[in-house]
Structures are given as structure tokens and as C-alpha cells.
């Protein structure tokens, strides 16, 4: 068995997470590069994070806010499709707690590798999104590749 065949067997299904930010571009690039080289089934997941809207002060995610966040997700997915360069993507926009949804999706779809960023949309969100990556690492039943932002 040559190295490429072994890698293909290991990573038949790859899940790439995206938030559409500039800092997320290295995640997209690395995930697509692996998928292209290995011929993997490739899932792209954008999660509308409802966590900030479930505190005691804000109980409901309003339709207007939800639609704006969903629109951001659709733009992020479209951006990924433009970068795919021959990689067939199965795309999903989910809503809820990111780490939980990503790891549940990975189990349900028998994902072999989750590709996630070390940092999200802004420096201020670093602690929150960094904790999402950390939670994914702890919760995942598969390998997790954390790609550093540049």
C-alpha cells in the first residue's frame, strides 16, 4: 500500500468548518487541499451560534437576527464553493451550539477528520471561538486538525 492510498483510507470523509471570516481562510485552504489530494467526501458546515442568545437576558433569537446570520452563512458557503476548484462539497448551515453540532454531525456522517480554525471572526471572539475548537477536540470521536490563523 502506498502512502496516498493509506491516507485516502484514513480520511475518506472530511468536515471543514467555516465562519466566513478572513481568519478562517487558512482552514478552508488546508481542508480543500486535503480533500482534493485524497479524493475525500467533503462536508462544509457553518454554524449559526445561538449561544449568545440563550442567556437569561435574551431568550429568543429574533427572526431578523437569525436571517442576517443565515445570510452570512450562505455567503460563507458560496465563498467556499468558489474556492473548491473541483472538490465536490456537501454544504450545511446549522443552528445551535457550534461544538456540539459539529461533533454530532461528524458522528452521524462518520467523518474521519474535522478541520477547524484556532481563531474566529475577531480577536475579541478568540476566547469564545478558541473554546469551540478546544471543545471540538475534547468531544470529537475522530481526528481534529486545528489550523492556525495567519
Residues 76-127 have pLDDT tens digits of 999 999 999 889 999 999 999 999 999 999 999 999 999 999 875 544 444 4
User: Residue 103 CB: number of other CB atoms within 10 A?
Assistant: 22
At 1 the pLDDT is 43
For the stretch 11-69, pLDDT in tens is 999 999 998 888 889 999 999 999 999 999 999 999 998 766 655 445 555 778 888 88
137 CB-near residues (< 8 Å, 6+ apart): 144, 146
Alpha-carbon span 111 to 105, nearest angstrom:
8
Predicted local confidence at residue 7, as pLDDT = 54
For residue 44, list its beta bridge partners: 16, 91
- Name residues whose C-beta falls within 8 Å of residue 82's C-beta, 6 or more positions apart in sequence: none
CA-derived radius of gyration, the chain: 15
pLDDT attached to residue 59? 52
User: What pLDDT, on a 0 to 100 scale, did the predictor assign at position 144?
Assistant: 96
Helix (H) or strand (E) holding 49: strand 41-49
Q: Write down the pTM of the prediction.
A: 0.84
**DSSP class of 52:** G
Amino acid at each position: 500500500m502506498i502512502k496516498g492510498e493509506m491516507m485516502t483510507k484514513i480520511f475518506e470523509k472530511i468536515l471543514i468548518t467555516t465562519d466566513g471570516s478572513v481568519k478562517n481562510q487558512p482552514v478552508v485552504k488546508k481542508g480543500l487541499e486535503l480533500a482534493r489530494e485524497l479524493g475525500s467526501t467533503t462536508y462544509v458546515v457553518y454554524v449559526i451560534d445561538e449561544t449568545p442568545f440563550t442567556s437569561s437576558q435574551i431568550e429568543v433569537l429574533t427572526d431578523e437576527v437569525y436571517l442576517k446570520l443565515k445570510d452570512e452563512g450562505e455567503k460563507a458557503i458560496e465563498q467556499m464553493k468558489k474556492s473548491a476548484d473541483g472538490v465536490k462539497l456537501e454544504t450545511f448551515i446549522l443552528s445551535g451550539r457550534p461544538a456540539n453540532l459539529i461533533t454530532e454531525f461528524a458522528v452521524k456522517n462518520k467523518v474521519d477528520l474535522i478541520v477547524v480554525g484556532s481563531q474566529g471572526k475577531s480577536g475579541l471572539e478568540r476566547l469564545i471561538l478558541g473554546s469551540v475548537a478546544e471543545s471540538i477536540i475534547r468531544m470529537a470521536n475522530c481526528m481534529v486538525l486545528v489550523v492556525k490563523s495567519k
